[in-house]
């Protein structure tokens, strides 16, 4: 592809899209800014009109990813309907669905080492996504006696960590890793065990 310099339409988004493809293929540490420029069909010098460097480009990929992630979590949570429990479980499934559908975004958000405070926009987007899970945990934990109720942020982070672990181990199709059960079933069972321990799900459910 011939180099097109600065006049490339929406060059900023073209570079993000190129970076996402490279992240999917090579991982977030596997490409350079020059690689992204080449994939977008522009000169490396043109990149610096929009990004200060490679980390800045990855931070924008992460910001866009968190915006999509937050939208999906909000949609799954659906205002806590039909019940706090069902809404909470839906957010876990949305986590897996996002990781499967948007691997480039997912890796830029969680595997690149990006600083979530790299920009106010990224900080807001990441916090918004986290807040959905915290809100879901807070609504569900109202059914636990106050003296046995964990902080909502701890509750949410336990489920976040479980979801992330299942994604990393079983939902990404890594060579040599065979999931003993579908990732959705593993997550549902894990959440069920966790919630039973808190007394939120009857033992016979």
Q: What are the extents of the domains in the chain?
A: 1-51, 58-197
Quick one: pLDDT at residue 147?
A: 82
Secondary structure class of 46 (helix, strand, coil): helix
| The CATH classification of domain 1-51, taken from the options 1.10.10.60, 3.40.50.720, 3.40.50.12140, 3.30.930.10 | 1.10.10.60
Residue 81 DSSP code? -
By C-alpha distance, which of 31, 55, 41, 56 is closest to 11?
41
Q: Residue 6 — very low, low, confident or very high, per pLDDT cuts 50/70/90?
A: very low
Fold type of domain 58-197:
Tetracycline Repressor; domain 2 (1.10.357)
Per-residue pLDDT of 93-142, as tens digits, reads: 999 999 999 999 999 999 999 999 989 999 999 999 999 999 998 988 88
Q: Cα torsion at 37, 41, 45, 46 (round to 10°)? A: -100
Whether the predicted pLDDT of 5 surpasses 50? no
């Amino acid at each position: 592809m011939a180099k097109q310099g600065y006049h490339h339409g929406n060059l900023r988004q073209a570079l993000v899209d190129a970076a996402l493809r490279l992240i999917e293929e090579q991982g977030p540490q596997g490409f350079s800014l020059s690689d992204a420029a080449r994939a977008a069909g522009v000169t490396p010098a043109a990149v610096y009109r929009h990004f200060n460097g490679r980390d800045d480009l990855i931070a924008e990929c992460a910001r866009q990813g968190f915006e999509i992630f937050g939208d999906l979590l909000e949609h799954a949570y659906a205002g806590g309907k039909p019940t706090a429990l069902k809404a909470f479980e839906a957010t876990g499934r949305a986590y897996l669905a996002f990781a499967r559908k948007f691997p480039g975004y997912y890796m830029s958000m969680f595997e690149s080492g990006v600083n979530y405070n790299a920009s106010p926009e990224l900080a807001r987007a990441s916090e918004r996504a986290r807040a959905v899970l915290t809100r879901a945990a807070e609504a569900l934990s109202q059914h636990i006696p106050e003296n046995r109720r964990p902080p909502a942020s701890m509750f949410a982070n336990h489920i976040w960590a479980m979801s992330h672990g299942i994604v990393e181990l079983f939902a990404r199709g890594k060579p040599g890793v065979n999931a003993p059960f579908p990732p959705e079933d593993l997550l549902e069972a894990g959440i069920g065990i966790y919630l039973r321990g808190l007394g939120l799900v009857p033992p016979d459910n």
